[in-house]
Amino acid sequence: MALPPPPHIAQQKAATAFRAFKSLKPQEFLGSSDPVEARAWLKEIDKSFEILGVEERYKTIFASYILKGEANYWWEFKCNLETDVVIPCDRFTRLFLDKYFPRLMETRMEIKFLELKHDRMTVEEYEAKFTELSRFVPEFMNTEEKKARRFHLGLK
């Protein structure tokens, strides 16, 4: 059974990972009334974590560091309500989405996607709107066949 690294080694590893994360210049999040903007911010942070291979235990700490202004105040309040000392990344994500991209908004975006029709748009405009809304319905986009079928349904 391997022993955990000494605390100073773990701290050095965390500091190195944080410097790498900051070197990507992640966008700060101030809080937003635009749920699409909030979701896009979260997606960019996730991409940064993936690129760098950030360990799960650091993700919430790193993401919360770049919450500023009202978003930071909200996060501090949420942390005081949580019972876990370290809040896992999946919990952070759920709390963040509940606040800035509530399920009602998610449902509305899904409906917009499902009701999207070509109508008076050019094919290019329709394709752009289709692509924009498709990120909210991954279950309809997880294969090329489903994606093509849904695209063609909107053209009729």
Q: How is the chain split into domains, by residue range? A: 9-101, 104-155
* 8 A C-beta contact, residue 40 and residue 80: no
> Does the pLDDT of residue 85 top 80, yes or no?
no
> Does the pLDDT of residue 8 top 80, yes or no?
no
For the CA atoms of 48, 53, 56, 60, what is the dihedral angle to 10 degrees?
-20
Identify the CA nearest to 100 among candidates 13, 12, 34: 34
What are the pLDDT digits (tens) for 97-106?
999 988 888 8
Q: What is the pTM of this model?
A: 0.74
What are the pLDDT digits (tens) for 26-82?
999 999 888 889 989 999 999 999 999 999 999 999 999 999 999 999 999 999 988
What does the pLDDT read at residue 139? Answer: 84
